[in-house]
Amino acid sequence: MKNAITADAGAIDAGSVKDARSYRLAGAASMAGTTIEWYDFFLYGTAAALIFNKIFFPALDPIIGVLAAFATYAVGFLGRPLGGIVFGHFGDKIGRKSMLLFTLMLMGIPTIIIGLIPTYEQIGYWAAVLLVAMRFLQGMAVGGEWGGAVLMALGLANSVSGQRRAARRRLADSPEGPGIARFREAQKRQHRRQSAAVQSIPRAPQRNPDDHWRADCRERLVLHVSDLRVGLCRQPVAHSPCRCPERDHCWRCAFAGDDAAVRAPVRQGRPETSVFRGASAALRFRLSVLRHAWHPRAANGVVGDGAGRRRGLPDPVRPRVAAVCPTVSGRDSLQRYLCVSAAGRRPGRWIRADDRYSAIGARRWQPALRDRLPDRHGASGAGVHRADETRSTSTTVARVKLLIGGEWVDSQSSEWLEVVNPATQEVLAHVPLATAAEVDAAVAAAQNAFTTWRHTPIGARMRIMLKLQALIREHSKRIAVVLSAEQGKTIADAEGDIFRGLEVVEHACSIGTLQMGEFAENVAGGVDTYTLRQPIGVCAGITPFNFPAMIPLWMFPMAIACGNTFVLKPSEQDPMSTMLLVELAVEAGVPAGVLNVVHGGKDVVDGLCTHKDIKAVSFVGSTAVGTHVYDLAGKHGKRVQSMMGAKNHAVVLPDANREQTLNALVGAGFGAAGQRCMATSVVVMVGASKQWIPDLKALAQKLTVNAGSEAGTDVGPVISRRAKQRILDLIESGVQEGATLELDGRGITVPGYEQGNFVGPTLFTGVTTDMQIYTQEIFGPVLVVLEVDTLDQAIALVNANPFGNGVGLFTQSGAAARKFQSEIDVGQVGINIPIPVPVPFFSFTGSRGSKLGDLGPYGKQVVQFYTQTKTVTSRWFDDDSVNDGENTMKIAFIGLGNMGAPMARNLIRAGHQLHLFDLNQQVLAELAELGSRISESPKHAAQGADLVITMLPAAAHVRAVYLSDDGVLAGISAGVPAVDCSTIDPQTIRDVAAAAAKLGVVVGDAPVSGGTGGAQAGTLTFMVGATLEHFTVLKPILAQMGRNIVHCGEVGTGQIAKICNNMLLGISMIGVAEAMALGDRLGIDTGVLA
């Protein structure tokens, strides 16, 4: 660990040498450009105050003429922001250094042209118009110069130690330009005095003294030639490695994100805010400039009494284009100015820029950092407040938002907490304690989204996870900087935090195989059984402060990939890096409502644990809170996994590799300031290994305590002052209880970070199992050492401890390792590994007092946690009526009658194939549109049918009965007065019988008393009628030989529907006895005809 950090520091030092070279080049070029700009500034200002009213505005009153001259002077300042916009834009597209060469040239050309403009007497008001135009171009050029070159040099200066103040003085307050201008002014005053002394001497016409300014303008051509050389000096300048003095460790740059997105706040910020801020800064600047300009007027006697001469010309004010409109100076300039102003300003200065939480979500965040930012030592005009203190919402620091239903929402809460940098006590943001209504809204949004998200194909969910892991990898360094600022851990630890969470996201990309069920064929005769893993619904996650990236990534990616929706409650102490991850998830394509975020404390936690729509709760945190969450959520029927506190042991045998073991113990015990649930907090020295304690102490003493953003830091600050005080109290308790304090980490003061929550590496020996430093989880950089004689004693000591998160054994004996892993009662065991956190292919398996719930956070267990297992047992019958595996039937309707058409429609909707024959062409056309087929004859309709249904009209509606060509009867309902069927000629019936005999069918011998016919079926024939007397088989009931015919009398419409429904469910495939039993069960008078 130490070697890796040293290598990084060396790389940074090498980069600093390169930065120094670039700074000297950029500083020299920018100082020369500033000198030229100040020369033009003084030259034009002096001319405007003394001469322009006479040359360009002679027709006006002297005072009005002076004011008009000053108005042209102000036009240049109006052009500066526009110049910053134009040249910053094109600088981003074609290269800033090339554009800065053009701005230098443009600065000089208007000055030269002004010296050539004719007077008012020569061309009238066109003289003033040309003057204003040139002054505007000059202002645009200066805006481009300040928006790029000077701020670029300042950024490079900030990357070189000790150069910040000198650079600001040399670049912003360059004395060379004013010096040249003052020298020329002194020359002109001397010339005027000499001219006055010789006015009485006759001589040739002399040049008007007021024309000296024209000569100065023409002399500007000499400086203009140098402009080209200055611009060329900038070409080899390297860009600053970062847009701020803190390089890659600047959380503000990390919030602002990549270059492309820095412009987003400019386009989407509130216009009235920018205008007000720019106007206020411009007013302060204009008043100062006006004071400077009127001094030479007083010296000339036009206005005042000459007091200005006695006072002399004051130092020029700093022209700050970025201060007036900081978002128009090019994309790099905005961030460089933001960070230079925040880190290098004097106490009490106001930063004039907007910040956003991130690049990809800039449109979702309200302006931040409009308040006074504390300096790097923690001083702040607003005072220092801990992150765990509740405050009102009256401050103007950035506010963390809620995510509800895909919308970034401002909380309506009246209670807010401060997110504080542990190293500086700087207030980074305010986070709300969400209201009960906001929690309900988040859960409702998740519940609504679940109805559609659960049916999203697995492939689509996998693609979202693939994009999310790519985005996290792309933005990992930026997130690490923010995480380090709000949590305090080193940049390396922060990147590790993100990477371990990223591994879980990568594992979620394989959800297609993880969510597979199981299948067993033919568990009984024709019976198959299989399981499905289906999402359970809305899930909630409650995460701790110590891993604001890894723990959220343990939870919501796997839950979402399984088809659930999620409500996340990040730690209120460091929510910003978590919110960056949430933004990336939204950008990856997670639909609205699938992922929601609420912030808060106990009330929000209780609201999630008791909400009726939440099905599962995941928690990682302290034992006290974890037990509360488990009990409360469990009482309300939730599925709960609760990962809690730990007291992780490392057992060291004498045969272990000494160097590797000691390095591992120091890293596991003091890394991340000991704020890890898997940190090694107890070392059990077995036998002779206790002789290694001095070496362990020596290694711990070499660790560097500093802010996490500083290169070379090994141990950063703890999360809050409250946490620091608790650690100090436990250290004191160890001393009072008789332990030996080998290394005392109290009283650490870090230069530049005096307000930080620092506790240095602390080492105790002579510890017993009844001391508080052993029984309690310290959660700080405190390592306690116990000594035992044998491995069995070490195993017994570890097993007696109530916690069971992780344990490590250091040995080179395979037999000892096998014995240890078999007998130890801890969920996760490391052999020569101090922090045995498994990769995501396996599950996090804490046990005993470290875990409540059966299933762990990731791996296979988390898929089981976020899914509901459903077991299906199915049986499919082999039957001749099922063709090619289809469960639909081919049904023939011969004569639809009154009830046939509705029945046919239902059968079509059920997917059956219908072949129809009827004389009512209108009804046939309607059914044909639904997908039925129209047959040309009854025989054609019945051919190959699984079931034939004949619905002949009732006798009261029969007008005529006829015998079709193939011997099947059909009736025509004409809607005319009823004709008694008993009057039908008996010969007709004999003809029917004869025709039936020709077809080779058996004709039933039921009495013919009028009425209508029945139905023929290939397997089973239903004959439907009203009564056996009135609706009987008219003799022409046709049945294929050997088939069963069931005649159902007393059948009404509802009973017919019941018969058909049962028939479609397969009951029609029965014999005679079953048919009779069916009729009896339905209450139908059933007779059987053979």
Residue 995 · residue 963 · CB < 8 Å? yes
Lowest mean pLDDT among 142-146, 202-206, 212-216: 202-206
CATH 3.40.309.10 in the chain is located at 650-834
Which pLDDT score is estimated for 994? 52
pLDDT tens by residue, 694-743: 999 999 999 999 999 888 999 999 999 999 999 999 999 999 999 999 99
Lowest mean pLDDT among 148-152, 321-325, 714-718: 321-325
Which of the two residues, 885 and 798, has the higher pLDDT score?
Answer: 798
pLDDT tens by residue, 1040-1088: 323 333 333 333 434 444 444 333 333 332 334 444 454 454 444 444 3
Which of the two residues, 483 and 124, has the higher pLDDT score?
Answer: 483
pLDDT tens by residue, 1002-1022: 333 333 233 333 333 322 333
Centre a 10 Å sphere on the Cβ of residue 960 and count the other Cβ atoms it contains.
Answer: 10
Which pLDDT score is estimated for 550? 94
Q: Which residue type is seen at 85?
A: I
pLDDT at 454 over 80: yes
Centre a 10 Å sphere on the Cβ of residue 19 and count the other Cβ atoms it contains.
Answer: 26
CATH 3.40.50.720 in the chain is located at 888-1072
Half-sphere exposure of 770 (CA within 13 A, CB side): 3
pLDDT tens by residue, 400-429: 999 999 999 999 999 999 999 999 999 999
Superfamily of domain 888-1072, CATH level 4: NAD(P)-binding Rossmann-like Domain (3.40.50.720)
Mean pLDDT of all residues in 30-45: 66
Which pLDDT score is estimated for 976? 29
pLDDT at 460 over 80: yes
CATH 3.40.605.10 in the chain is located at 399-643
Which pLDDT score is estimated for 15? 40
Just give the CATH number of 650-834.
Answer: 3.40.309.10
Reported confidence tier of residue 910, pLDDT bands at 50, 70, 90: confident
- Contacts within 8 Å (CB) and 24+ apart, 51-60: 51/210, 51/213, 52/131, 54/210, 55/119, 55/120, 55/127, 55/210, 56/119, 56/120, 56/127, 56/128, 56/131, 57/120, 57/128, 58/120, 58/121, 59/120
> H helices of 147-200, where?
151-158, 164-172, 176-197
- Containing 228, the helix (H) or strand (E) segment is helix 212-233
pLDDT at 255 over 50: yes
Q: Which residue type is seen at 518?
A: E
Supply the Cα-derived Rg of the chain in whole angstroms. Answer: 45
Which pLDDT score is estimated for 1060? 40
| Mean pLDDT of the residues in the chain | 69
Give the distance, in angstroms, between the CA of residue 25 and the centroid of all CA atoms in the same chain: 41
pLDDT tens by residue, 828-872: 899 999 988 888 888 888 888 788 988 888 888 899 999 999 999
Mean pLDDT of all residues in 29-36: 63
**Rounded to an integer, what distance in angstroms lies between the CA atom of residue 755 and that of residue 790?**
45
pLDDT at 351 over 90: no
pLDDT at 600 over 70: yes
pLDDT tens by residue, 539-551: 999 999 999 999 9
**Rounded to an integer, what distance in angstroms lies between the CA atom of residue 574 and that of residue 727?**
20
373-390 burial, b for 16+ CB within 10 Å, e for fewer? Answer: bbbbbbbbeeebbbbbee
For 155, the token pair is 């950024």
Reported confidence tier of residue 231, pLDDT bands at 50, 70, 90: low
Mean pLDDT of all residues in 804-822: 92
Which pLDDT score is estimated for 59? 76
CATH architecture of 399-643: 3-Layer(aba) Sandwich (3.40)
What whole-number percentage of the chain has pLDDT above 70?
A: 55
**Rounded to an integer, what distance in angstroms lies between the CA atom of residue 248 and that of residue 932?**
73
pLDDT tens by residue, 755-776: 999 999 999 999 999 999 999 9
Reported confidence tier of residue 582, pLDDT bands at 50, 70, 90: very high
Lowest mean pLDDT among 80-89, 499-508, 1044-1053: 1044-1053
Count of positions (residues) in the chain: 1090
Q: For tokens 């060329």, what's the residue?
A: 232
Residue 690 · residue 787 · CB < 8 Å? yes
Tell me the CA distances in angstroms from 486 to 386, 420, 810, one per residue in order: 12, 6, 35
pLDDT at 526 over 60: yes
Residue 923 · residue 899 · CB < 8 Å? no
**Catalytic-labelled residue, pool 217, 677, 981, 1048:** 677
pLDDT at 38 over 90: no
For 779, the token pair is 């959660």
**Rounded to an integer, what distance in angstroms lies between the CA atom of residue 1036 and that of residue 966?**
11
Nearest in space to 915 (alpha carbons), one of 902, 926, 928: 928
User: Helix, strand or coil for residue 950?
Assistant: strand
pLDDT at 652 over 90: yes
For 97, the token pair is 């250094």
Question: Is 677 one of the catalytic residues?
Answer: yes
CA dihedral sign of residues 117, 120, 122, 124:
positive
